[in-house]
Amino acid sequence: MIMTVRLLVMDVDGTLTDGRIIIGPDGEALKTFNCKDGYGISHLLPAAGITPMIITGRDSRILEHRAAELHIDELYQGVQDKLPLLHRLTAERGLTPDEVAYIGDDLNDLEAMRFAGVTACPADAVQGIMDIVTYVCRRDGGRGAVREFIEYLIRLNEHR
């Protein structure tokens, strides 16, 4: 039986952002996010019954502000090995891999993406990720790829 996607896990740098990190003398100063991605996360996902979650290898106060703005309660930063955390979080929620979608762009996402039932990457992801995903977005990271994948998931769920 094919399950409905209930959880969307997102990477940040290169996925929710274009991967550029501007660092000033006092540390991280700027990341840019796409407003269309934000609308999809804060409005389309809840309406579709899909919970947004972020798992990222970096720590960022900027990301904490953006996640709060988008009503993302599931934010996990500084996670170098994402798969064990993803296993634990899905087990706690009683989710199967088929109910998990994941979007990422680089090799630190690879093992967690192999766990998820539906996967995607931005158009500018590394080849090793493009080779294993369900869906390669037409848009680049930080330029609407997450919104594109959200719309794909909604259509997918409607046909399940």
Full set of structural domains in the chain with CATH: 7-159 (3.40.50.1000)
Q: How far apart are the first and last CA of the chain?
A: 9
Q: Report the pLDDT value the prediction gives residue 19, as an integer from 0 to 100.
A: 92
State the pLDDT confidence band at 146, using cuts at 50, 70 and 90: very high
Q: Is 105 annotated as a binding residue?
A: yes
Tokens of 50: 């899909």
Model pLDDT, residue 27? 73
Copy the structure tokens of residue 126: 């590394």
Name the 3-class secondary structure at 32. Answer: coil
pTM of the model: 0.95
Q: Summarize pLDDT for 47-69 with one digit per residue, the tens.
A: 999 999 999 999 988 999 999 99
Is 140 marked as a binding-site residue?
no
